[in-house]
Amino acid sequence: MDPQVEIDLKDWPITYRGPKYYKSKVLDAAGKTPAWNEKISISVPMISSELLLPTTGILLRVMDEDITNHDVVGESVLITLKEIFAYTTAARQLPVKLLWKSKDAGTLNIDYQFEAKAPVEKKMIIDGELSVTV
């Protein structure tokens, strides 16, 4: 298997101007337990958390990249930005369950951290950097 991780940003605020889709490198012949150790940084625009949709977040997908076709190995459920912003001070490890056609497709272990540019309060204004390591 030649796996690759895709990160899809779902329903991000219109003030976000960066890419809405990220891909890791492809690990040739990595088998069923690949380790990318690849960090992706996403700049999060200034926005009130009250304006975030419940569907605003990141979706993770593992693909098997071949010369002729790219097969889905598994997809995560949505990890919402509100879930991510609840942990603003330290990196957090998260085992992400992958499913494909409603069946268990394994686990993708990620680390993520949100570093706010200013202190985050209850009715937070979000502005900072989200780092996701796959």
CATH number at residue 100: 2.60.40
What does the pLDDT read at residue 1? 86
The answer for residues whose C-beta is within 8 angstroms of residue 72's C-beta and 6 or more apart is 61, 62, 63, 64, 100
What does the pLDDT read at residue 7? 94
Domain that holds residue 51: 3-133
Q: What is the DSSP string of the chain?
A: --EEEEEEEES--TT--S-SEEE----TT-TTS-----EEEEEEEEEEGGG--TT-EEEEEEEEE-SS-EEEEEEPPPEEHHHHHT--SS-EEEEEEEEETTEEEEEEEEEEEEEESS---TTPEEEEEEEEE-
Total count of residues recorded for the chain: 134
CB atoms within 10 A of CB 113: 19
Domain count across the chain: 1
What does the pLDDT read at residue 117? 73
Q: Which of 30, 25, 56 is nearest to 134 (CA)?
A: 25
What does the pLDDT read at residue 16? 80
Q: Per-residue confidence of the chain (134 residues) as pLDDT tens digits?
A: 899 999 999 998 877 888 899 999 999 998 888 989 999 988 887 777 777 788 888 999 999 988 778 899 999 988 888 777 765 566 788 889 999 999 999 999 998 887 777 665 555 666 778 888 88
CA 122, 125, 127, 131 torsion: positive or negative? positive
